Every structure is written in C-alpha cells, then in structure tokens.
Amino acid sequence: MTNSNPQRWTDDRLDALAASTQSLLEATQANTKAIGENSELMQKVIEGQLAMQTLHGQLAEQTLQLKRAVDYLLSKDGGQS
C-alpha cells in the first residue's frame, strides 16, 4: 500500500500535466487561428487604404485639370461670366 500511494500521486500529477498541456495546445491553436484571421483583415485594410490613396491622387489630378480648364475658359472670356 505504501508503494501504491506514491505511484498513484505520480499518475495523478502526470494526468494533470497531460490535461494542462492539452489545454495549452488548444489555446495556442486558437490564438494562432485568430492571429491568422487578424492578419488577413489587416491586409484588407491596407489594400483599402492604398486604393483610397490612389483615388485621392486621381481626384487631385482631375481637380487640377478642371481648374486649368476653368482658368483657360475665363481667360478666353475676358474674365467675365
């Protein structure tokens, strides 16, 4: 009986360690999945930001062209509307 108590205690500790290790593994896998999903979302945000910057540049160019056209028309008209 004396020999079985230390063995039982050791077995219980090993079972607890195995359960703890399994729990840690599952938590790590869940975190890895969440990080992957967040990375995908950040990539989409970055792509959206780059698209917005491109549109901003196009709008600025079109605004400049419109200003030049209006200035040209006003100069041809003698500045009178």
- How far from the centroid of its chain's Cα atoms is residue 34's Cα? 11
SS3 sequence, 20-51?
HHHHHHHHHHHHHHHHHHHHHHHHHHHHHHHH
Whether the predicted model's global pTM rises above the 0.75 cut: no
Rounded to whole angstroms, what are the CA distances from 71 to 50, 61, 65? Answer: 32, 15, 10
Per-residue pLDDT of the chain (81 residues), as tens digits, is 456 699 999 999 999 999 999 999 999 999 999 999 999 999 999 999 999 999 999 999 999 999 999 999 999 887 565
